[in-house]
Chains A and B, each alone.
Chain A
Amino acid sequence: MAASLLPVKIFADEATEERAENARLSSFVGAIAVGEMIKTTLGPKGMDKVLQSARGGDIQVTNDGATILKSIPVDNPAAKVLIDISKVQDDEVGDGTTSVCVLGAALLEEAEQLTKQKLHPQTICDGYRRASAVALKALEDVAIDNSGDKIKFKKDLLNIARTTLSSKVLAGDREHFASLAVEAVLRLQGSTELERIQILKKPGGRLPDSYLDNGFLLDKKIATNSPKSVTNAKILIANTPMDTDKVKVFGARFRVDSTGKLAELERAEREKMKAKVNKIKEFGITCFINRQLVYNWPEQLMSEAGIMVIEHADFEGVERLSLVTGGEITSSFDHPEMAKLGECELIEEVMIGEDKLIRFSGPKAGQACSIVLRGATQQLLDEAERSLHDALCVLSQTVRSSRTVLGGGCSESLMANAVDNLARETPGKVSMAIESFAKALRQIPTILADNAGLDSSDLVSRLRAMHHSGGDGVYCGLDLDAGEVRDMREIGVTESYKLKRQVVASAAEAAEMILRVDDILRAAPRKRDRH
């Protein structure tokens, strides 16, 4: 019997286990800490964070939830789950990354209170599940689809872009960037291939100097002496060595017994290259773009033939060009009839700031375009790119599934009211969990108001009353500039339905997942042997 009093060792050294209350507590603490950290970045008056990397001291200034969460090192399973849902949100919709994380954390915060009141986690889960179903139903009911009416739809898109951008660094010039983003996305004609929109960052100038270029811009140089502008270009995009076709066998070498023979060999090499160039010429091209270097000799030969030569276009450049101009990347030149050439109306050099770039205007696959961003500092440009990317993501998603809902805390408030009604009708303990769900939803307008330095308790309760009164009240949200409750339709605060839906659904799912945890097992860290 004495043996049973000794602790039985089940786990390996350093492996740990946290049980029941402890496990739950550590989940709550982790999730709430993450939510707390990024909640100040939410909304149009949200603040930015400086991310400073431990080595190198590189800095980023950002307002983008996904970017912040991606960069911070965490060692808490629940926090990791929240970071993951934010990542998924980024991949799926591109925006709302902060909202999803904040809502998840709010749900868990409420759950913590409920567990203190001796509610079983499973009961809470049940309540959350019912509540989220009702919330999503309510959201779907108010979603409007304007895709039939082109003018209205474009206005919707502009509103969405403006709403997304208003929380970012581009807020000051949101009109400009909103129309820029909408135009770019409409050019894609329903495709979500955002790679076709190229974003170029050039320091100098101001944000409003940024513009949409209808062509494709390549940050490379045209070779000396080849024509600097080509109209109705036929483009061959190649990935081939243009220095010399070396026999790539290790140790291969010529053995000769005189300098004359060496000279002959050198000549032969030159002739071989000339032959290759001649083959390329047979394609009937006017522009040759190579991913690798083009040496002087082939460059001269092609220039003489009136072919524009662009060397050393890197991987990304070549792939994009192939996408944009409709040409295929070619590596062998024996069958000119089989190759697909790219086409575009005009290739020319343009000067942006201090740099010269090559512009391909009027490409065959006409959907492509470039956005040139100008701004004071590299950090500003990086952040502007992230913001614009978010807007583009949301817009391209909206073009696909065109339903929209109102922002500014309006949708959340609406859902919260629907959930409240459900709570009133539901008997039993579950109703407490349902009520908590509504409270968590109201956290979003609360944080929005808090971040703007407004009296959140007053505003949110007024918002709730408006929604409860029904009628036009259900279109009310927070106007954070004026600091009052207003009809969101008037100031055009619109968000994508898909985005909102995704935020509520994945936050609820994540919260449920974390709630169901009652045991955290940590594997022993792998030992590092030093020999």
Chain B
Amino acid sequence: MQFKDREKPDQIRISNIVAAKAVADAVRTSLGPKGMDKMILKSDKDVVISNDGATILKHMSVLHPVARMLVDLSAAQDVEAGDGTTTVVVLAGSLLGAAENLLKKGIHPTAIAEALMTTATNATEILESMGKSIEMNDTASLLQAAQTSLSSKVVSQYSSLLAPLAVEAVMALAPPGTTNVDLRDIRVVKKVGGTIEDTKLVPGLVLTQNVSKSANGPTRVEKAKIAMIQFQLSPPKPDMENQVIVNDYHQMDKILKEERAYLLDMVKRIKKTGCNVLLIQKSILRDAVTDLSLHFLSKVKIMVIKNMERDEVDFICKSTGCKPIADIESFTEDKLATAEVVEEINEDGARYVRIGNKIIGSAVTDAPKDIVPRSTSGSTLSGSASPKTVCIVVRGSNESTVSEAERSIHDALCVTRCLVKKPSLICGGGASEIELSVNLRKRALTQLSATAFCMAAFADAIETIPFTLAENAGLNPIRVVTELRNMHAEGYQNAGINVKRGTAVKDMWDPTETHTVVQPLLVSLSAIELASETVRMVLKIDDLVGTR
């Protein structure tokens, strides 16, 4: 039953596989805690330094259609799990490499594709059986998972600081029983200056906009009553075109006077409701405030923050509990939100506005060593028991560090969210992959015909992950991987590579170890499933047709 086909489909298939492997090779070296970073020079001369697979691939301008599919694959993993974006691409590349060898043996591509699917189903079964379910209040495990994710990033030395941040942020938004968290409710604000150590979870709401100070308005307000307005404090301007015709000098005076009166009236009305902090939505049609209105506002001690984006309004309202006000007529007290304090914080060259509770003592939250239950940390806005949003301020000495820190925090957040979605952990450090590969090889023996053959080949292909981990860490990959195989054969299910120590260890989960390397089951599951889906699609291609 030899599979023979015309020349062209074969060439196309090989060229596709070569392209995919090239992409996988490009990100391969950034896998794992000892993985290296890539510097990407964008076309606009901007530099991005990253270790995040999805980010690297996004910025690489690849042309080959199959290479583009791998870029999409990484993006999909980013959406689904948020982490493991490098793993998924490396895995796909390796599976394709295995497929290439199988093709050379004369196995029909659809047979390989089907065998791959059987393998994937078996793999998910094995992974699920390996998963150890955890309780959501088991913060220690959550922290370990977040730390594992951060350990491969540029900011890995700060993982003990950033991991609790991420866990706390997600847990704050996930009351028991929830199965998903909208990461858009976590605002990550980037501010250059200081060091990564200054990164913190800020209680309350953080606004990136600055307080308008040109008229000497207050920059700190206690017992704040906040209003979010969507109209402007500037001379009237109807939507239709208009023209003010001035005939003589007196009329000009009158116009100016009327303008003053108009603005003064608005400010008075605002003041009457007791409002003392004003957030103003950006308008493209007219000035949000004029010097004159700012002057009036500062006289009545109202703090002004302008340039709120329209898509920010939802977030602000959600966090503070105020309601947007679109017209001065409907400016009433019930639409205001209250907060103990609204202040402009100025530190290490960064300015931002914080709305929230008064902070007693010096620091906001000193890198929490262990996580304080939300209710006692009391960092919510007054009035509401559990916060609806969380803010993290990321600091760093330069733009690239801050951006990379932000991406790393995003990954850590995603990992924690994965655990909210599916509270189950498996071992990292290549342990799960080796176990998978060992088990798949066993199961391959029960299969028949091409499936058995392909399954064994794919089992080998999965070993590329621990192999690469060891290689990137400067270890002898052959020795480490075979050592691990032995351990797994002896029944040490959790044996993996301890990259820090540079050896294979029998139990990645050993509580006496300082470094337990664990990752959410969902990350591994989705990596296997997404990679095999993409590989199947690539295998089924036999022609490249140019179109208009």
Q: Which of B64-72, B166-174, B356-364 contacts A (4 or more CB under 8 A)?
A: B64-72
Q: When chains A and B are docked, how far (Å) is the Cα of A207 from the Cα of B534?
A: 11
Closest to B70 in A: A377
Whether a CB of chain B sits under 8 angstroms from the CB of A452 is: yes
Check A206–B547 contact: CB distance below 8 A. Answer: no
Q: Which of A106-114, A130-138, A239-247, A492-500 contacts B (4 or more CB under 8 A)?
A: A239-247
Q: Which residues of A contact B323 (CB under 8 A)?
A: 225, 300
Whether a CB of chain A sits under 8 angstroms from the CB of B235 is: yes
Q: When chains A and B are docked, how far (Å) is the Cα of A375 from the Cα of B544?
A: 22
Check B244–A452 contact: CB distance below 8 A. Answer: no
Q: When chains A and B are docked, how far (Å) is the Cα of A53 from the Cα of B548?
A: 5
Question: What mask results when residues 49 to 71 of chain A are scored 1 for a CB within 8 Å of chain B, else 0?
Answer: 11111100101010100001001
Whether a CB of chain A sits under 8 angstroms from the CB of B14 is: no
Closest to A374 in B: B80
Question: What mask results when residues 505 to 548 of chain B are scored 1 for a CB within 8 Å of chain A, else 0?
Answer: 00000000000000000000010011001101100111111111
Whether a CB of chain A sits under 8 angstroms from the CB of B492 is: no
B182 touches which one: A265, A268, A351, A377 (CB < 8 A)?
A351
Q: Which residues of A contact B244 (CB under 8 A)?
A: 256-259, 262
Check B548–A203 contact: CB distance below 8 A. Answer: no
Check B329–A270 contact: CB distance below 8 A. Answer: yes
Check A260–B258 contact: CB distance below 8 A. Answer: yes
Whether a CB of chain A sits under 8 angstroms from the CB of B376 is: no
Q: When chains A and B are docked, how far (Å) is the Cα of A377 from the Cα of B72?
A: 5
Q: CB within 8 Å of A: which of B355-383? A: none
Whether a CB of chain A sits under 8 angstroms from the CB of B314 is: yes
Closest to A351 in B: B180
Check A52–B544 contact: CB distance below 8 A. Answer: yes
Check A454–B1 contact: CB distance below 8 A. Answer: yes
Instruction: Give chain B nearest CB distance to A301 CB in angstroms.
Output: 8
Whether a CB of chain B sits under 8 angstroms from the CB of A15 is: no
A254 touches which one: B235, B238, B548 (CB < 8 A)?
B238
A354 touches which one: B63, B79, B237 (CB < 8 A)?
B79
Check B326–A297 contact: CB distance below 8 A. Answer: yes
Check B108–A378 contact: CB distance below 8 A. Answer: no
Q: CB within 8 Å of A: which of B27-43? A: none
Q: Which residues of B contact A343 (CB under 8 A)?
A: none
| Range of interface residues on B (Cβ < 8 Å) | 35 or more
Check A377–B76 contact: CB distance below 8 A. Answer: yes
Question: What mask results when residues 244 to 261 of chain B are scored 1 for a CB within 8 Å of chain A, else 0?
Answer: 111100010011001101
Closest to A169 in B: B537
Check B255–A380 contact: CB distance below 8 A. Answer: no
Given contacts A203-B79, A377-B69, A454-B1, whether A260 and B262 have CB atoms under 8 Å apart is yes
Q: Which of B110-118, B128-136, B139-147 contacts A (4 or more CB under 8 A)?
A: B110-118
Q: Which residues of B contact A95 (CB under 8 A)?
A: none
Closest to B323 in A: A225
Closest to A245 in B: B239
Q: When chains A and B are docked, how far (Å) is the Cα of A72 from the Cα of B545?
A: 7
A49 touches which one: B230, B314, B544 (CB < 8 A)?
B544
Closest to A202 in B: B79
Given contacts A59-B65, A351-B180, whether A252 and B543 have CB atoms under 8 Å apart is no
Check B529–A49 contact: CB distance below 8 A. Answer: no
Check B238–A47 contact: CB distance below 8 A. Answer: no
Q: When chains A and B are docked, how far (Å) is the Cα of A518 from the Cα of B65?
A: 42
Whether a CB of chain A sits under 8 angstroms from the CB of B236 is: yes
Instruction: Give chain B nearest CB distance to A380 CB in angstroms.
Output: 6
Q: Which residues of A contact B313 (CB under 8 A)?
A: 224
Whether a CB of chain B sits under 8 angstroms from the CB of A299 is: yes
Whether a CB of chain A sits under 8 angstroms from the CB of B324 is: yes
Check B73–A377 contact: CB distance below 8 A. Answer: yes
Whether a CB of chain A sits under 8 angstroms from the CB of B502 is: no
Whether a CB of chain B sits under 8 angstroms from the CB of A37 is: yes
Check B545–A52 contact: CB distance below 8 A. Answer: yes
Q: Which residues of A contact B237 (CB under 8 A)?
A: 262, 266
Whether a CB of chain A sits under 8 angstroms from the CB of B137 is: no
Q: Which residues of B contact A378 (CB under 8 A)?
A: 72
Check A71–B542 contact: CB distance below 8 A. Answer: no
Instruction: Give chain A nearest CB distance to B209 CB in angstroms.
Output: 18
Q: Which residues of B contact A455 (CB under 8 A)?
A: 1
Q: Which residues of B contact A50 (CB under 8 A)?
A: 65-66, 541, 543-545
Q: Which residues of A contact B235 (CB under 8 A)?
A: 259, 262
Whether a CB of chain A sits under 8 angstroms from the CB of B241 is: yes
Q: Which residues of A contact B314 (CB under 8 A)?
A: 221, 224
Q: When chains A and B are docked, how far (Å) is the Cα of A305 from the Cα of B244?
A: 37
Q: When chains A and B are docked, how far (Å) is the Cα of A351 from the Cα of B314?
A: 17
Whether a CB of chain A sits under 8 angstroms from the CB of B346 is: no
Number of A interface residues in the complex (CB < 8 A): 74
Q: When chains A and B are docked, how far (Å) is the Cα of A247 from the Cα of B239?
A: 10
Q: When chains A and B are docked, how far (Å) is the Cα of A71 from the Cα of B543?
A: 14
Check A172–B547 contact: CB distance below 8 A. Answer: no
Q: When chains A and B are docked, how far (Å) is the Cα of A412 from the Cα of B242?
A: 76
Instruction: Give chain A nearest CB distance to B536 CB in angstroms.
Output: 7
Check A47–B117 contact: CB distance below 8 A. Answer: no
Instruction: Give chain B nearest CB distance to A207 CB in angstroms.
Output: 7
Q: Which residues of A contact B255 (CB under 8 A)?
A: 258-259
Q: Which residues of A contact B114 (CB under 8 A)?
A: 172
A376 touches which one: B65, B110, B251, B533 (CB < 8 A)?
B533
Q: Which residues of B contact A301 (CB under 8 A)?
A: 326, 330
Q: CB within 8 Å of B: which of A341-371? A: 351, 353-354, 356
Check A265–B236 contact: CB distance below 8 A. Answer: yes
Check B242–A265 contact: CB distance below 8 A. Answer: yes
Check B544–A266 contact: CB distance below 8 A. Answer: no
Given contacts A45-B108, A453-B1, whether A247 and B240 have CB atoms under 8 Å apart is yes
Q: Which residues of B contact A243 (CB under 8 A)?
A: 239
Whether a CB of chain B sits under 8 angstroms from the CB of A284 is: no
Instruction: Give chain A nearest CB distance to B269 CB in angstroms.
Output: 13
Q: Which residues of A contact B423 (CB under 8 A)?
A: none
B238 touches which one: A262, A295, A299, A452 (CB < 8 A)?
A262
Specify which of A50, A255, A258, A380 lies most central, judged by the most chain B CB atoms within 10 Å of its CB. A50
Question: What mask results when residues 103 to 123 of chain B are scored 1 for a CB within 8 Å of chain A, else 0?
Answer: 000001111001001000000
A206 touches which one: B243, B251, B529 (CB < 8 A)?
B529
Q: Which residues of B contact A54 (CB under 8 A)?
A: 546-548
Q: Which residues of A contact B69 (CB under 8 A)?
A: 59, 61, 377, 379
Instruction: Give chain A nearest CB distance to B181 CB in angstroms.
Output: 9
Q: When chains A and B are docked, how far (Å) is the Cα of A206 from the Cα of B117?
A: 12
A246 touches which one: B108, B180, B239, B246 (CB < 8 A)?
B239
Whether a CB of chain B sits under 8 angstroms from the CB of A263 is: yes
Check A266–B236 contact: CB distance below 8 A. Answer: yes
Whether a CB of chain B sits under 8 angstroms from the CB of A40 is: yes
Q: Which residues of A contact B66 (CB under 8 A)?
A: 50
Q: When chains A and B are docked, how far (Å) is the Cα of A300 from the Cα of B111?
A: 60
Closest to A295 in B: B326
Q: When chains A and B are docked, how far (Å) is the Cα of A269 from the Cα of B241?
A: 12
Check A379–B262 contact: CB distance below 8 A. Answer: no
A296 touches which one: B3, B259, B326, B541 (CB < 8 A)?
B326
Whether a CB of chain B sits under 8 angstroms from the CB of A527 is: no
Check A269–B239 contact: CB distance below 8 A. Answer: yes
Closest to A44 in B: B110
A259 touches which one: B75, B182, B236, B544 (CB < 8 A)?
B236
Q: When chains A and B are docked, how far (Å) is the Cα of A301 from the Cα of B239?
A: 19
Q: When chains A and B are docked, how far (Å) is the Cα of A301 from the Cα of B323?
A: 12
A51 touches which one: B230, B246, B545 (CB < 8 A)?
B545
Whether a CB of chain B sits under 8 angstroms from the CB of A77 is: no
Check B3–A453 contact: CB distance below 8 A. Answer: yes
Check B324–A257 contact: CB distance below 8 A. Answer: no
10 contacts between A and B (CB under 8 A): A45-B108, A61-B537, A203-B75, A204-B79, A257-B247, A260-B261, A263-B258, A300-B330, A301-B330, A377-B69
5 further A-B pairs in the complex, CB-CB below 8 A; given A44-B110, A225-B324: A47-B541, A52-B547, A256-B242, A260-B262, A377-B72
Listed in ascending order, the chain B residues whose CB lies under 8 Å from chain A are 1, 3, 5, 9, 63, 65-66, 68-69, 72-73, 75-76, 79-80, 108-111, 114, 117, 180, 182-183, 230-231, 235-247, 251, 254-255, 258-259, 261-262, 281, 313-314, 317, 323-327, 329-330, 526, 529-530, 533-534, 536-537, 540-548
